[in-house]
Amino acid sequence: MKSILKYIGMKDINLVDYGFSNPTLYCEPFGGSFNTGFKLIEQGYKGESIYNDIDEKVVNFWECIKENNNKVLDRVVQLNNIVKNQFTDSEREMTLANWYQSLDKYKRAAAEFTYRQYLTMDGLKWSVRDTIIDEIDFYLSQEALKSVEICNKDYKEIIGRYDSKDTFFLIDPPYDIDRVSRYYRGDCRKFKHEELANIVKTLEGNWLLTYNDNERIRELYRGFDIKEIKRQLFGRAYTELYITRE
Ligand SMILES: C[S@@+](CC[C@H](N)C(=O)[O-])C[C@H]1O[C@@H](n2cnc3c(N)ncnc32)[C@H](O)[C@@H]1O
């Protein structure tokens, strides 16, 4: 099962390859699309999960899906019908901005879903195709989220609260590259990579950390197991680092 939220940088990881062995708590402090979490639940993980992201718009999307996926679906279809009949990108962006400001949280969730569908590495690109909506996946996401607690905090608070020897963390922070600030809200360029490294090094629980490949990150995690993973993003090849304790 893939996440219904299209997300730049989304991960699709088989965690058993990285030390995941029946923890009682699974935690993504930088949750985004929660793609790997959904995969884990589909694979039969029955324990509790914590989803966290600092971005309140993404968090509102998941809270609304958990509460009533039909209401989100209904608004997504409505929004899609509006934007596909508009002639210019600026009209579509204005509609999106209005929906983001709606008092109806399900409308805001629909705006987030639509925004993420059209976001590319070069900004928002409205294509002629309709928004892709899979009704069954909306329903399955609601089912999967029943065992997931959704949080909207800074990652430090979440790690501090949930670290234990029975926790497994998938830690997928904003990357140490300037252009990530375009894909995520908040100023990810100010993200303190050293601070995260100091926290990760003291964790009681097990973890997998994913990062872009550069000297600073390799230096910060010297002594840990660092694997190079080749990936494609919008047709461009790049290398990521998957870092574990062993
Ligand atoms: C690389 S993305 C995570 C993608 C996610 N693993 C997936 O598969 O979709 C990084 C995420 O971290 C979030 N973020 C940035 N700073 C944060 C912070 N201080 N605390 C919690 N989340 C943060 C961003 O909003 C973004 O969703």
Highest-scoring range by mean pLDDT, 121-135, 186-200, 211-225: 211-225
Is the CB of residue 56 below 6 angstroms from any atom belonging to ligand 1? no
User: What is the atom index within ligand 1 of the atom nearest the CA of 53?
Assistant: 22
Strand 123-124 with 167-171, pairing: unpaired
Is the CB of residue 11 below 6 angstroms from any atom belonging to ligand 1? yes
Report d(CA 187, CA 27) in Å as an integer.
23
pLDDT tens sequence across 132-177:
788 999 999 999 999 999 999 999 999 999 999 999 999 999 988 8
What percentage of residues in the chain have a pLDDT greater than 90?
Answer: 80
What pLDDT shows up at residue 8? 86
In sequence order, what E strands does 90-224 have?
119-120, 123-124, 148-151, 167-171, 206-212
Is the CB of residue 53 below 6 angstroms from any atom belonging to ligand 1? yes
Q: Measuring from atom 11 of ligand 1, which residue has the nearest CA?
A: 30
Is the CB of residue 186 below 6 angstroms from any atom belonging to ligand 1? yes
Is the CB of residue 33 below 6 angstroms from any atom belonging to ligand 1? yes
Mean pLDDT, all residues of the chain: 93
Report d(CA 113, CA 148) in Å as an integer.
19
Query: What are the structural domains, with CATH classification, of the chain?
Result: 15-54+153-244 (3.40.50.150), 62-140 (no CATH)
What pTM does this model have? 0.95
Decide if pLDDT at 128 tops 70.
no
